[in-house]
């Protein structure tokens, strides 16, 4: 069978224009779905990172703060003054932020960089007599003698980052013996912070520390999910967040320093 040339037909110009138009809309639709799904995934990934960091901050700060003033053997140490002698200010050459001078019996204080809004707190406590307690860096707290656990001084400090969500929580440790401090090390324990504020209760019969942290994932893209976190943080602290369209989460906790209660 021979097909004559005049009987061969293709797409007309109108048909091609319609096909291109429909194809363009399909590509745009699929692309928008992909972009929305990616944004949603990154937002959820950012919030997961914030929740993980929040849990880590809880574990670190609540555990360490609750140990403030702990004495290994209160039968042989009838007072805080007996367990914790006076020590001079602990100078941290790494960041220039020091712990204050502690008089005998004093086991808690703010860092020396500000009274109204210090970047960190310093606490003193002892390790258990069995020598199995660890400090915040994972070091074994040395046992001084059978009746006294090893004395340690710990600084927990927030340091702001150069970009939003790049702040860190760092722990610095000194060991004490006969009123002399020896530096044991310093490490970043938590990343992904935009701000952290400390509030110290003035009550002597029920001393407590309250902290509020703002977690912000810097890697996540902006999301259309509405959030009032930045507004709530401004109400809480007075600080206005410039980059408020990222996944953020507020963490608050109050820790009673039960070892110091009268």
For the stretch 217-237, pLDDT in tens is 766 555 565 678 888 888 888
For residue 14, is it within any domain? no
Where do we find the tokens 């194809």?
Answer: 23
pLDDT at 216 over 60: yes
Confidence at residue 218, expressed as pLDDT on a 0 to 100 scale:
65
pLDDT at 176 over 80: yes
Name the residue among 94, 95, 92, 47 with its Cα closest to residue 192: 47
For residue 232, is it within any domain? yes
| Over residues 73-94, mean pLDDT | 85
> Encoding tokens for residue 216?
């912000």
For residue 217, is it within any domain? yes
Q: Which pTM does this prediction carry?
A: 0.80
For residue 141, is it within any domain? yes
For residue 34, is it within any domain? no
Where do we find the tokens 């703010």?
Answer: 110
pLDDT at 146 over 70: no
For residue 12, is it within any domain? no
For residue 86, is it within any domain? yes
pLDDT at 152 over 90: yes
Confidence at residue 87, expressed as pLDDT on a 0 to 100 scale:
92
CA distance 230 to 214: 9
> Domain range spanning residue 214?
42-260
pLDDT at 137 over 80: yes
At 143, give phi and psi (nearest 5°): -90, 125
For residue 36, is it within any domain? no
Output 135 or 36, whichever has higher pLDDT.
135
Q: Which of 42-51, 60-69, 195-204 has the lowest mean pLDDT?
A: 42-51
Q: How many structural domains comprise the chain?
A: 1
């Amino acid at each position: 069978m021979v097909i004559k040339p005049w009987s061969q037909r293709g797409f007309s110009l109108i048909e091609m224009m319609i096909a291109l138009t429909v194809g363009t809309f399909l590509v745009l639709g699929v692309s928008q779905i992909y972009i929305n799904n990616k944004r949603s995934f990154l937002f959820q990934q950012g919030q997961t990172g914030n929740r993980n960091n929040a849990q880590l901050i809880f574990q670190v700060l609540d555990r360490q703060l609750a140990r403030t003033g702990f004495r290994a053997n209160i039968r042989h140490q009838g007072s805080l003054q007996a367990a914790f002698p006076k020590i001079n200010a602990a100078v941290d050459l790494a960041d220039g932020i020091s712990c204050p001078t502690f008089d005998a019996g004093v086991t808690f204080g703010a860092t020396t960089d500000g009274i109204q809004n210090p970047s960190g707190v310093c606490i003193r406590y002892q390790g258990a007599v069995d020598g199995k307690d660890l400090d915040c860096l994972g070091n074994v707290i040395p046992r001084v003698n059978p009746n006294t656990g090893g004395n340690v001084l710990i600084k927990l400090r927030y340091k702001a980052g150069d970009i939003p969500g790049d702040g860190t929580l760092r722990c610095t440790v000194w060991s004490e013996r006969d009123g002399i401090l020896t530096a044991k090390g310093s490490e970043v324990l938590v990343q992904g912070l935009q701000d952290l504020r400390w509030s110290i209760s003035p009550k002597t019969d029920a001393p407590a520390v309250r902290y509020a942290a703002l977690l912000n994932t810097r890697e996540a893209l902006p999301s259309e999910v509405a959030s009032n976190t930045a507004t709530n943080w401004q109400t809480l602290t007075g600080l206005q967040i410039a980059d408020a369209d990222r996944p953020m989460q507020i963490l608050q906790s109050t820790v009673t320093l039960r070892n110091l209660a009268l």
